[in-house]
Amino acid sequence: MSKEITFLPEELIVSKTDLKGKITYSNRAFMRICNFPESALLNQPHNLIRHQDMPRGVFYGMWQALQAGNEFFGFIKNSTSDGNYYWVFANVTPDYVGEQKVGYYSVRRVAPPNALTAVADLYKKMREIEASGDKTTAAKKSWQWLNNYCQEKAGMSYDAFILNHYQSFRQ
């Protein structure tokens, strides 16, 4: 049975990737929390830590934002090397050297536990959409559903919804 791994609110999990999402840097907090040594992380795809409960649509939306040169915020459930999991509130931004985009920079904070109830329900619906559709378009459809939900139920964009949700539960 897997258990949730927690970390302190003042801790930041930091990583960098190249343009294809391969890890080029990980801080000590990242290595400790995901329980991977640096040698097992470097040059590996960042989705090495992706948890099976995460809808692919969230990552579809993240890549859409990043490829457009925008930052992405989201609640993410990750796996550890020993089968446990941890939740984060992630901020992923393009990483530039001068004018050239060279990769992505991610800073993850503690996800407020009270914020995760609603997020888990939304992610469950997204996974249902993905399971019932064509695999080639499932991630895009679930991301569109989430964006429509934010607009129709909350009256705001996904970005505004997710930031407001995080802020309203932050301790």
Model confidence pLDDT, tens digit, residues 29-85:
999 999 999 999 999 999 999 999 999 999 999 999 999 999 999 999 999 999 999
Helix runs in the chain, H state only: 28-34, 38-41, 56-67, 113-132, 138-149, 158-169
Structure tokens at 54: 């995460």
At residue 171, does pLDDT exceed 80? no
Domains of the chain with bracketed CATH: 13-169 (3.30.450.20)
Global confidence as pTM: 0.95
3-state secondary structure of 25: strand
**Residue 170, pLDDT score:** 82
At 146 the pLDDT is 98
The whole-chain average pLDDT of the chain stands at 96
Identify the three-state secondary structure at position 120: helix
Does 3 have pLDDT greater than 80?
yes
pLDDT in tens, 83-109: 999 999 999 999 999 999 999 999 999
Contact, 18 vs 103, CB < 8 A?
Answer: yes
| 115 confidence band (pLDDT: 50, 70, 90) | very high
Question: Which of 129, 147, 150, 148 minimizes the C-alpha distance to 139?
Answer: 129
